[in-house]
Amino acid sequence: GEDCLWYVDRNGSWHPGFDCDFFTFCCGTCHQRYCCRDPLRLLTERQQRHCLAFSPKTIAGIASAVVLFIAIVTTIVCCFMCSCCYLYPPAGPPAPFPVDPKAGPAPPQPGFTPMAMYPPAGPAAQYPLYPSGPPVYNPTAPPPYVPAQPSYPGA
């Protein structure tokens, strides 16, 4: 590989990695690298990788990713737990039972005053009917009707 790995200087400029000549090695700091022969200024590959791993930009990037992840998870949990967040349109009131027109008007219920019924001012809006979903399994329900089979062949 390269003697001096890529680095970012104090101004935020990116510098590519480079090789040093024979009998020289990478020297300097995390933000400035050059080739030299002085072993006291040696910047090992491990030290160079440590500069990359714990730079302020790296830490800020990881922290912002964690905060974003927590915000998304919190929002999803709140939408499933809170009644104020509607993922699906609310269901309307249940449909009344059909009334036989020959039976006449229904008698008034005690405690309620009858009100005059007026037809709607315009045509009623027609909404598409959505399927109610798969049937719910009820273990106490009787089995579906199966016609009796003859007990002998050819009957």
> Residue 74: which domain range?
55-90
pLDDT of 24 higher than 90: yes
Closest of 62, 33, 63 to residue 47, by C-alpha: 33
In a shared domain, residues 31 and 45: yes
pLDDT of the residue at 20: 93
28, β-bridge pairs? 33
In a shared domain, residues 41 and 76: no
Between 18 and 82, where is the model more confident?
Answer: 18
In a shared domain, residues 62 and 46: no
Rounded mean pLDDT of the chain? 77
How is residue 61 written in tokens?
């990037």
Distance from C-alpha of 145 to C-alpha of 138, rounded to nearest angstrom: 16
In a shared domain, residues 46 and 63: no
Asked, for residue 49, whether it belongs to a domain, the answer is yes
How wide is the angle at C-alpha 84 spanned by C-alphas 81 and 90, nearest 5°?
100
How is residue 34 written in tokens?
């050059």
pLDDT tens across 121-143, in order?
A: 666 666 666 666 676 777 787 77
Distance from C-alpha of 14 to C-alpha of 91, rounded to nearest angstrom: 58
pLDDT of the residue at 114: 60
Residue after which a domain boundary falls, among 90, 115, 142 = 90
In a shared domain, residues 13 and 43: yes
In a shared domain, residues 48 and 75: no
- pLDDT band for position 26 (cuts 50, 70, 90): very high
Asked, for residue 154, whether it belongs to a domain, the answer is no
Asked, for residue 68, whether it belongs to a domain, the answer is yes
**Chain center to CA of 25:** 49
Work out how many domains the chain is built from and give that number. 2
In a shared domain, residues 49 and 61: no
How is residue 138 written in tokens?
């009820």
The H or E element spanning position 147 is: none
pLDDT tens across 77-113, in order?
A: 887 777 666 555 656 666 666 667 677 666 666 776 6
Asked, for residue 66, whether it belongs to a domain, the answer is yes
Closest of 58, 49, 2, 11 to residue 30, by C-alpha: 49
Asked, for residue 119, whether it belongs to a domain, the answer is no
In a shared domain, residues 73 and 42: no
